[in-house]
A and B are shown apart, each in its own frame.
Chain A
Amino acid sequence: MITTTPTTSHGSRTGWFGLLLAVLGSFLFLFVLIPLVHMVASVSGSELVEAAGDRDVMDSIKVTLLSAAFATVGVVLGGIPLAYLLARKRFFGRSLLLGLVDLPIIIPHSAAGIALLLVIGRRSLLARVLGTGLTDTIAGVSVAMAFVSMPFLVNAAREAFAGVPVRLERVARTLGASPARVFFTISLPLAWRGIVSGMILMWGRGISEFGAVVIVAYHPMTTPVLIFRRFESYGLTSARAVAALLVLICITIFVVVRLLCRRPSPER
């Protein structure tokens, strides 16, 4: 919880202001925390076990985690170079590109799904080349996730690269390192923590994606889609257990990954 010490050595003048900040901040914090805690708490242990034993639920969780991971890895390949360019180079159209990166955040995700379907769907050019579209495949799910959650990775990586002092790269150049070597030995290792944090964020955002995924691929069913179907077909109680299970799994994974990344990088 947010705590404050209004009557410390800062004096009473800043005390009431600190208290105000804490109260307002707490409202928002509770706004997010209460529904989640309430949902998880309202599900009994036996309901959770039952949900965990449900093949459909476990399959959907597997599909969700895996496709989000595929999406993240795929976006890393193009996202890191793009982030580095945006952080370091000044070129024509840079600010346009910066805005475009954020585009998937602001457009409705169902619209994004429709747009993707036109490119990777059954009657698309891609389908004509490959013989089949990506509709209703894990690849299709991944593409939908990648499209809508890509900004989180690119923005985090861009900020991480921007945080690496240019002088370090300049010194490395004068010491005889090529731009590629500077990138791999200086910029990337120093930005790595920020990039990983962006990857986790993107992965999490991919897991939670519903709108674009449901349009591109109803099957194989991801957990958000499954939750929606259970809610529509069987009501709140049935959907609640699955939702609670996914939330618990996500929180556990995020905490573990964050803890792993917090450790200082090993001696080189």
Chain B
Amino acid sequence: MLELKSIAVRLGTFEIHDISLEVAAGEYVILLGPSGVGKTVLIETVAGLIRPCAGRVFFQGVDITSLRPEQREFAIVYQDYALFPHLTVKANIAYGLRSAGIERSEKRRRTEQLADLLGISQLLRRRPEGLSGGEQQRVALARALAIRPKMLLLDEPLSSLDSNTRIQLRKELKRVNKELGISILHVTHDQEEAMVLGDRIAVMLDFRIRQTASSDKLFRRPSDVEVARFVGLRNIFEVESVADGACMVLGERIHASSATQDTSHIWIGPEEVLLSREPFQSSARNQFQCEVLDWNPQGSLLMVHVKTGGIVLAALITHSAFDDLQITPCARVYATFKSSAVHCF
């Protein structure tokens, strides 16, 4: 539906280039990247607020690159809410309805309906000043939805909110996407937010998009080591040399079935690492005697860090496995993983 083709934007010395991205009808796409890589610039380019110096923007097959922002009907929501301080909440929500030439009764109906949907009906007469961050962002969202946008553009919409409000609003965003069927392009630096919300995630590093994949695939098959590091994956090691299908890492041999001479880094998913009290008889080629360093809860599981030689491995295990292993600090355990579980970059 929305299609960016090799977009480049130059603002003074700042530059992003060769950005290609698609958002299908009804899809929730996350643009994930650290701050300062040009995510806001890209989203403002989609909104028509910034003119790209190269590349085209298509919407439903039509080239809209030179269309003005007010003609695009893409509503934007910013991190700092950007509510109109001189207008009441109600007037803020209805702002976009004045341009659209909509009847007064319809305007009121839509405003009230959206206020209801987002739980801000009691705030309609108030001014933005004095509302909490979560309330302000709900107003901003209602204001954006009021024009029935063809697409919703979100620029770090949850980053200024406390964690409870953030989790609440995530649900609302998901609902807006699924129930109202509005396509969303959402920019964030938060990996967890990306994972929870995105149907697809585009990772932006060094002013370009490095990988676009479903969240499932991104976190299990990152395209390169920088993406893997950025999305917060553990157990990434630099390879010193490769010989006979085994990678030398900090003096240890790690068997990797997909290793080649070009392999520079390996990554082992923490859920692939098995811990046991005694050496474990299996076809897995990698087994190390380790010392337990520490552990911490990871959702309903536990992340245990163990050390062998210079390598610190993270292993994700269940609480019952933890109890069975009788893990204590400095306890001796065996860490086992298959050579096929070692991902090579």
A contact residues vs B (CB 8 Å cutoff): 165, 167-168, 170-178, 181, 185-186, 189-190, 265, 267-268
Residue with the highest number of chain A CB atoms closer than 10 Å, among B86, B96, B100, B147:
B86
List chain B residues, Cβ under 8 A from A178: 70, 99
Cβ of B44 < 8 Å from any Cβ of A?
yes
Chain A residues whose CB sits within 8 angstroms of the CB of B95 once the complex forms: 172, 175, 177, 185
Give the secondary structure class of A's interface: helix
The answer to whether B96 and A175 touch across the interface, beta carbons within 8 angstroms, is yes
What's the least CB distance linking A190 to chain B, in Å? 6
Least distance between B306 CB and chain A CB atoms (Å): 48
Alpha-carbon gap, A174 to B147, bound state (A): 10
- CA A176 to CA B74, docked complex, whole Å: 9
A171 to B95, CA, bound (A): 10
Chain B neighbourhood of A181, CB < 8 A: 99
B39 at the interface (CB under 8 A from A): no
A185 to B70, CA, bound (A): 15
A165:B82 contact, CB within 8 angstroms: yes
- Kindly state the separation between the CA atoms of A195 and B75 in the bound complex, as whole angstroms: 30
**One of A171, A185, A265 near B78 (C-beta < 8 A):** A171
Q: For residue B69, which residues in chain A have a CB less than 8 angstroms away from its CB?
A: 170, 173-174
- A173 pairs with B49, CB closer than 8 A: yes
Residues of A within 8 Å of B70, CB to CB, are 173-178
Closest chain A residue, CB of each to CB of B72: A174
Closest to A186 in B: B84
On whether the beta carbons of A171 and B100 are closer than 8 Å, the reply is: no
Q: Give the shortest distance, in Å, between A184 (CB) and chain B (any CB).
A: 12
Is there an interface contact between B76 and A268, defined as CB atoms closer than 8 Å?
no
Q: How far is the CB of A88 from chain B (nearest CB, A)?
A: 13
Contact B99 A176 (CB under 8 A): yes
CA–CA, A165 and B83, complex, Å: 10
14 contacts between A and B (CB under 8 A): A168-B82, A170-B69, A171-B143, A173-B68, A174-B48, A174-B70, A174-B153, A175-B70, A175-B75, A175-B95, A175-B99, A175-B144, A176-B73, A177-B95
Indicate whether A167 sits within 8 Å of B80 (C-beta atoms), given known contacts A174-B70, A174-B72, A175-B95. Answer: yes
For residue B47, CB closer than 8 A to chain A, the reply is yes
Q: Does B263 contact A (CB under 8 A)?
A: no
User: Are B147 and A265 in contact (CB-based, < 8 A)?
Assistant: no
